[in-house]
């Protein structure tokens, strides 16, 4: 029994020890497995951390590169904008400088005119005093003559009065003729002011038909349906075209046509060519409009340059500055009373060359003056002053001969000519302008004007015959020498010119010449 119990105790102890050992082994295994799992998790976490860190580094590099590119692009845009603004500021400064020079020139001119006006006022007061003194002297002499006639001739008061009145009238007419001559001399001194008044009146009279003919051009359309495409959605296309060319488009005024209106003939020509290309192409949208206008503008510059070079070649000139060549080409698109200015300049150059050869002068220099005489008309409307002065200043900047500069400035009499070329230029300019057909005018209007000129002169008392000459630029009046004396002839010329100014519309000026002659005829038999 005791042995059995001892055996059980041993087995229980062994079992207990075995259980304790199993528990220890299990704990050790569990601890080992946990460590292995923890190491694996740590490695995966480290790998993920490394991947995240690498990705973050690459993104930082990309962000850095993109930021640098944006900085470079912003710098380029800033430099481009700064360059454009700097150019605009330079252009504005140049315009201000030119305007200041023109303003200084005008101030000097005004001061000279004020001094001249003061001198003329003093002279007028002196002449008025002299006229009053002469009138008093005439009255005194008339009174003495009347008393002498009544005393010596035994005339009645009425007869003496009539004789005195006749003598006084004759003296008054002579005095009036002298005053008219003096006033004409004063008018020549104030010719600039009078010329401006006459030109302004002529512009007012001729503005309506001239503006419609010279400031517009028409582009035909295949159909009226194309007008909607030209206008575009909400007017985008027409606004883009007007903004790109600087002209106005009149869509609804003429069927199957578009009227282009603009003050600058070069802009008007660019608009016409661009619109024709767009209509023929059919693709009309804002981007296409800007592309076509830019292309036409480049071609226009080439056309202007070729026209200037051709004009220089036709005039047989050499050594002309390229900028002057460009300005000459611009005259191809300028007109004066419907006469093309470039063709007119070539005509004047050829005429001056021919006349200079006959007079033994330098024909090449004369042709140079003739070709450049209207160069000032190529300047735009922002340039102030007469075209002769502008042209002279323009060619002087390019070191042209001083004789050429003076002749160009003097061809309208605004400055004094110091060589024969100024007078030749004035004569050639008048010949080219007065040439029949040079300036557009319908035959009916021309004949009416000629008949009206002769009718006005024939309606005056004492006129025998009247002849309109030089395409209506001169009226020659033949008077009766018995009815019209020298003083009355002067007054008649003035009366005829005043009636022509008030009753007729005409470009330029009309010369009135009164001819008084006495013919004595006898026959030898």
Q: What is the DSSP string of 34-59?
A: HHHHHHHHHHHHHHHHHHHHHHHHHH
CATH of the structural domain 204-310, one choice from 3.30.1370.10, 3.40.50.2300, 3.20.20.370, 3.30.1490.20: 3.30.1370.10
pLDDT of residue 191: 59
Structure confidence by residue, pLDDT tens digits, 269-295: 888 888 888 888 878 888 888 888 888
pLDDT cut 90: percent of the chain above it: 0
Q: Which residues contact 363 (CB under 8 A, 6 or more apart)?
A: 353, 354, 356, 357
The architecture (CATH level 2) of 321-434 comes to Orthogonal Bundle (1.10)
Coil vs helix vs strand at 399: coil
Question: How many angstroms separate the CA atoms of 348 and 360, rounded?
Answer: 18
- Backbone torsion region of residue 470, taken as left when φ is above 0, otherwise alpha when ψ lies between -120 and 50, otherwise beta: left
pLDDT of residue 197: 59
User: Using 50, 70 and 90 to split pLDDT, how confident is the model at 210?
Assistant: very low
Mean pLDDT of 323-333: 83
pLDDT of residue 194: 59
Q: Which is it for strands 463-469 and 339-340: parallel, antiparallel or unpaired?
A: unpaired
Question: How many angstroms separate the CA atoms of 382 and 380, rounded?
Answer: 6
CATH of the structural domain 445-516, one choice from 3.40.50.11740, 3.30.300.20, 3.40.50.720, 3.40.190.10: 3.30.300.20
pLDDT of residue 487: 82
pLDDT at 203 over 50: no
Coil vs helix vs strand at 519: coil
Contact 378, 264 (CB under 8 A): no
pTM of the prediction? 0.44
Question: How many angstroms separate the CA atoms of 470 and 513, rounded?
Answer: 13
Contact 452, 504 (CB under 8 A): yes
pLDDT of residue 212: 47
Structure confidence by residue, pLDDT tens digits, 134-152: 888 878 887 777 677 666 6
**Cβ atoms within 10 Å of 358's Cβ, excluding its own:** 9
pLDDT at 201 over 60: no
Mean pLDDT of 494-513: 82
Coil vs helix vs strand at 208: helix
- Mean pLDDT of all residues belonging to the chain: 79
What the block records as the tokens of 233 is 């959605």
Coil vs helix vs strand at 415: coil
Structure confidence by residue, pLDDT tens digits, 418-457: 888 888 888 888 877 765 554 544 455 667 778 888 888 8
């Amino acid at each position: 029994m005791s042995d059995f119990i001892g055996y059980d105790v041993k087995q229980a102890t062994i079992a207990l020890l075995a259980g304790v050992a199993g528990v220890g082994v299990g704990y050790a295994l569990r601890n080992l497995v946990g460590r292995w799992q923890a190491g694996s998790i740590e490695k995966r976490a480290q790998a993920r951390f490394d991947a995240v860190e690498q990705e973050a580094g690459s993104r930082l590099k990309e962000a850095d590169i993109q930021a640098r590119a944006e900085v470079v692009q912003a710098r380029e845009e800033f430099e481009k904008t700064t360059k454009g603004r700097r150019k605009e500021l330079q252009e504005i400064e140049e315009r201000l400088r030119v305007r200041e020079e023109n303003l200084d020139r005008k101030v000097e001119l005004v001061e000279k005119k004020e001094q001249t006006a003061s001198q003329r006022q003093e002279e007028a007061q002196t002449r008025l005093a002299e006229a009053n003194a002469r009138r008093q002297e005439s009255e005194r002499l008339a009174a003495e003559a009347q008393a002498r006639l009544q005393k010596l001739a035994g005339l009645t008061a009425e007869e003496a009065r009539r004789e005195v009145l006749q003598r006084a009238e004759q003296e008054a007419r002579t005095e009036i003729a002298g005053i008219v001559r003096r006033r004409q001399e004063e008018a020549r001194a104030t010719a600039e002011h009078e010329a401006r008044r006459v030109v302004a009146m002529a512009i007012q009279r001729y503005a309506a038909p001239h503006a419609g003919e010279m400031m517009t051009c028409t582009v035909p359309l295949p159909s009226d349906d194309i007008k909607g495409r030209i206008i575009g959605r909400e007017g985008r296309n027409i606004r883009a075209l007007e903004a790109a060319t600087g002209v106005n488009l009149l869509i609804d005024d003429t069927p199957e046509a578009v009227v282009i209106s603009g003050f600058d003939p070069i802009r008007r020509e660019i608009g016409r060519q661009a619109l024709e290309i767009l209509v023929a192409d059919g693709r009309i949208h804002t981007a296409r409009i800007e592309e076509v206008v830019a292309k036409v503008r480049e071609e226009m510059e080439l056309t202007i340059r070729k026209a200037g070079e051709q004009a220089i070649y036709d005039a047989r000139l050499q050594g002309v500055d390229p900028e002057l060549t460009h300005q000459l080409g611009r005259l191809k698109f300028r007109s004066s009373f419907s006469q093309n200015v470039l063709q007119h300049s070539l005509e004047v150059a050829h005429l001056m060359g021919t006349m200079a050869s006959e007079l033994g002068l330098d024909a090449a220099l004369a042709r140079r003056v003739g070709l450049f005489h209207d160069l000032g008309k190529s300047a735009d409307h922002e340039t102030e002053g007469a075209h002769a002065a502008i042209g002279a200043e323009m060619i002087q900047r390019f070191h042209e001969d001083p004789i050429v500069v003076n002749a160009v400035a003097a061809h309208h009499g605004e400055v004094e000519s110091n060589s024969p070329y100024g007078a030749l230029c004035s004569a050639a300019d008048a010949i080219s302008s007065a040439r029949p057909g040079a300036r557009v005018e319908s035959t009916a209007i021309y004949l009416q004007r000629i008949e009206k000129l002769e009718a006005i002169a024939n309606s005056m008392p004492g006129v025998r015959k009247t002849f309109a000459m030089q395409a209506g630029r001169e009226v020659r009046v033949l008077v009766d020498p018995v009815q019209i004396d020298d003083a009355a002839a002067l007054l008649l010329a003035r009366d005829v010119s005043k009636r022509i100014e008030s009753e007729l519309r005409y470009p330029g000026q009309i010369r009135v010449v009164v001819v008084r002659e006495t013919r004595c005829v006898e026959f030898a038999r």
